[in-house]
Amino acid sequence: MVTDSTYSINLQEEYAKTEIAKILKLLDDELVGLTPVKSRIREIAALLLIDKLRKKLAITSGSPGLHMSFTGSPGTGKTTVGLKMADILYQLGYIKKGHLLTVTRDDLVGQYIGHTAPKTKEVLKKAMDGVLFIDEAYYLYKPDNERDYGSEAIEILLQVMENQRDDLVVILAGYKEPMDKFYASNPGLSSRIANHIDFPDYTTEELLKIAKMMLEEQQYQLTSDAEIALIQYINKRKEKPLFANARSIKNALDRARMRQANRIFESRGQVLTKKELVNIEAQDILQSSIFNS
């Protein structure tokens, strides 16, 4: 710690010492869209870096709140962003390890009296010095069930979030509406979370771009007709229940690849070209049941 008021710090040098730039670039490269989310992560990263530099110069500042809430539909990149956030926190020295442990209610809440506390404490022990990512966190609280032990898990979680905030960062994730109700029912929990980040649904154009990236990774490509068919599929699928953004697109592409393989297999006897093995045709998309409903 430096106490000389004339001492200065080169921001670019300090920034270069960390891997933050690389992590933020990966976030841009790996995740399509999500502009408000990426912007918020950059703001948090900037705040943490400046806070670190202030401490070096002995400038008094309150510790920035690190616990977070990620709200949005399934398949919008919440877990991926959580992993990148863990990397940023580690590079800046806010957590001792860069790991992220993802859990759900079943990992924390027991089935009988005396079962919840040891389960929750074991999870917290594994997550310590890193990030604990609780998916569908609103399931922790079931006010309509008197025999539910979720409130016990929340109480233990609250104590750790307050008393060991330098050792563990907690990210609570889930659908926005039930998460809002969850926080309203647990004001102590909400007050300990400094960063609430909402993940928007992807547009059709963004989902098409995601699909192309997924296919490229596996050395497949869409023909021009297949691209038109996939746009039609996306628009129809978005109107159906249980749509899960990128996750639904991945499932659709898996089925399209299966249909492509079956189509090629049934035409056996011919000599196959690389192009035929790589191309996803329109019929591989249009055979989906979504077009018949």
Contacts of 138 (CB under 8 A, 6+ apart): 174, 175, 178, 179, 181, 182
CA pair distance 287, 281, nearest whole angstrom: 11
Alpha-helix runs per DSSP H in the chain: 11-17, 20-30, 35-56, 78-91, 105-108, 116-127, 150-163, 176-185, 187-191, 204-217, 224-238, 246-266, 274-278, 282-286
- The model's pTM is 0.85
CB-based contact 237:290 (threshold 8 Å): yes
Specify the CATH number for 204-292; select among 3.50.50.60, 3.20.20.210, 1.10.8.60, 3.90.1150.10.
Answer: 1.10.8.60
CA pair distance 44, 206, nearest whole angstrom: 25
CA pair distance 136, 134, nearest whole angstrom: 7
Strand partners, 100: 131
| Fold that domain 11-199 belongs to in CATH | Rossmann fold (3.40.50)
Question: One digit per residue, pLDDT tens: the chain, 293 residues?
Answer: 444 555 566 667 776 677 788 888 888 888 899 999 999 998 888 888 888 888 877 787 667 789 999 999 999 999 999 999 999 899 888 899 989 999 999 999 988 778 899 999 999 999 999 999 999 999 998 777 667 788 899 999 999 999 998 899 999 999 999 999 999 888 888 888 989 999 999 999 999 999 999 999 999 999 999 999 999 999 999 999 999 999 999 999 999 999 999 999 887 667 788 999 999 999 999 999 999 87
Q: How many CB atoms lie within 10 A of CB 146?
A: 6
What residue segments make up the domains of the chain, in order of their start? 11-199, 204-292
